[in-house]
Amino acid sequence: MSETPLKPYARDDTGLAAFYKELSTQERRTFWTCFIGWGLDALDFMIYPLVIGTIMTLWRVDTGVAGLAVTGTLLTSAIGGWLAGYLADRIGRVKTLQITVAWFCIFSIACAFVQNFDQLMIARAILGFGFGGEWAAGAVLIGETIRPSFRGRAVGVVQSAWAAGWGAAVLLQAVMFSLFPPETAWRAMFAFGVLPALLLVYARRHVHEPEIAERARKKRAQDGDAPSLWEIFRPGTLKTTVLGSVFMMGCQGGYYAISTWIPTFLKTERHLTVINSTGYLGLLITGSFIGYLFGAWMADRFGRKKLFVSFSIVAIVVVLAYTQLTISNEAIRWLGFPLGFFSSGYLAGVGSFLSELYPTRLRGSGQGFCYNFGRGMGALFPALVGGFSVRFGLATAIAIFAVLAYALLLLSAALLPETRGIKLEDIR
């Protein structure tokens, strides 16, 4: 990517919700489609970490193998996200979004009917292709819809839907495990994967392709210059792709090391039941949601890099305190809020940041690859935590890999350019 001077930063209204007042009807439809889609992605993904303890007991699965199922989903989501990003550059953002939503809807329901752990691993792995693709298409779609001065906030608020979906999954867990015995409750949770089908119907009717993407696609058709799948690795773009991939590895690895194993940590090391742990997870998720909103505001107000650097440093401190200090369960409950805030909030800046690193012809491919390569490599962290926990204990294993991930995030963010306020049309 060639160096592009940043445009003066627009200080017309720095409020978190200011962007929403300026959106047209079509832009608002796109915003809510991406918000709900990402929330449903989170609901679907977080079901497994929430029922992992139950499945380990019912099918006698150890922690290493149980973590491998998460890793399998994230690895296939990495491939699916890269391919979906490339497809978004070729056939359009909206069409690709529709395909991916339908995909993870179908295979989420399939998880409810598996008969053993091997079948569950396969179903989750296949689901991952659509799971990764939905973010790749949706993030480019919303990033190209919003003007530069509001892009960080708009995309960041969409990212906050992950916390909303996570919270919905925890609420769903509390309801299902209250109504049904454990061997039935986890299947009922997976059956809720049918919900994304409603979003698919809405998107087909009301969401349209961004103008900048349409213009770029028409120009490519006239010139006969369709982007190659491998173009993001050519000289001039390779450095951005490598650093962006390492950056996302740190972002995803830290988050998944924590979110995958905290429910089990509360159950096995803090000796809390599924129902009793709901309040602990509630504070963690509340912190996460507010962290996303604060991070979205901070990305536009102070810049993307300041968000990433400051949050990664504090996240390291909070993770060590949560897992390594000898403190009461009550202290753990309240420490969940800052843990959720700092271990998630930096993700609010990721979508806009990656969108601003690539030109329009490569935006889907580049953003899709970096995010999902990071997700694929970050996918190793839950499995590594599970494996290391056998020898070092779950709390120490979580701390080791979360700190390693946040260190990678800190280093790569420092090496990438600041992109706040840049116009997507100016990127060459």
- Look at residues 171, 220, 161, 158 and name the one whose alpha carbon lies nearest to residue 361: 220
* Residue 218 belongs to some domain of the structure: no
The answer on pLDDT for 107 being more than 50 is yes
Of 38-47, 77-86, 163-172, 294-303, the range with the highest mean pLDDT is: 294-303
- What pLDDT shows up at residue 421? 83
Q: How many domains does one find in the chain?
A: 1
* Residue 16 belongs to some domain of the structure: no
- Is residue 42 within 8 A of residue 162, CB to CB? The reply is yes
* Residue 402 belongs to some domain of the structure: yes
Of 56-60, 218-222, 380-384, the range with the highest mean pLDDT is: 56-60
Of 23-27, 129-133, 283-287, 407-411, the range with the highest mean pLDDT is: 407-411
Separation in Å, CA 235 to CA 140, 226, 227, 239, 240: 23, 18, 15, 8, 10
* Residue 9 belongs to some domain of the structure: no
The answer on pLDDT for 148 being more than 90 is no
- At 299, list the tokens: 């990305």
CA 332/CA 339 separation, integer angstroms: 10
- At 30, list the tokens: 């796109």
- Is residue 418 within 8 A of residue 303, CB to CB? The reply is yes
The answer on pLDDT for 141 being more than 80 is yes
Model-level pTM?
Answer: 0.75
pLDDT band, residue 275 (cuts 50/70/90): low
- What pLDDT shows up at residue 5? 38
- At 140, list the tokens: 């480019």
- Is residue 134 within 8 A of residue 199, CB to CB? The reply is no
Give the domain extent around 345: 24-208+227-416
* Residue 427 belongs to some domain of the structure: no
CA 166/CA 42 separation, integer angstroms: 6
CA 104/CA 339 separation, integer angstroms: 29
- Is residue 83 within 8 A of residue 133, CB to CB? The reply is yes
- Is residue 257 within 8 A of residue 405, CB to CB? The reply is yes
The neighbour count for residue 38, using CB atoms within 10 Å, is 23
The mean per-residue pLDDT over the stretch 241-250 comes to 95
- What pLDDT shows up at residue 106? 87
* Per-residue pLDDT reduced to its tens digit, 377-425: 887 888 888 888 888 888 899 999 999 999 999 999 999 999 988 888 7
* Residue 47 belongs to some domain of the structure: yes
Percent of the chain with pLDDT over 90: 27
CA 389/CA 321 separation, integer angstroms: 18
* Residue 160 belongs to some domain of the structure: yes
The mean per-residue pLDDT over the stretch 21-42 comes to 84
- At 102, list the tokens: 């339908």
Query: What average pLDDT does the structure give for the chain?
Result: 85
Query: For residues 355-383, b (16+ Cβ closer than 10 Å) or e, as one string?
Result: bbbbbbbbbbbbbbbbbbbbbbbbbbbbb
One-character DSSP codes across 302-313: T-HHHHHHHHHH
- Give me the CATH number covering residue 280: 1.20.1250.20
CA 250/CA 343 separation, integer angstroms: 11
Q: Where are the alpha helices (DSSP H) in 180-303?
A: 182-191, 196-206, 211-223, 238-268, 277-301
* Per-residue pLDDT reduced to its tens digit, 279-337: 778 888 899 889 999 999 999 889 999 999 999 999 999 999 988 888 888 888 888 89
- What pLDDT shows up at residue 225? 67
* Residue 248 belongs to some domain of the structure: yes
The answer on pLDDT for 85 being more than 50 is yes
The answer on pLDDT for 12 being more than 70 is no
**3-class SS at 22?**
coil
- Is residue 138 within 8 A of residue 89, CB to CB? The reply is no
The neighbour count for residue 212, using CB atoms within 10 Å, is 16
- Is residue 258 within 8 A of residue 398, CB to CB? The reply is yes
- Is residue 364 within 8 A of residue 212, CB to CB? The reply is no
- What pLDDT shows up at residue 64? 76
One-character DSSP codes across 262-288: HHHHHHHTS---TTTHHHHHHHHHHHH
The mean per-residue pLDDT over the stretch 218-243 comes to 82
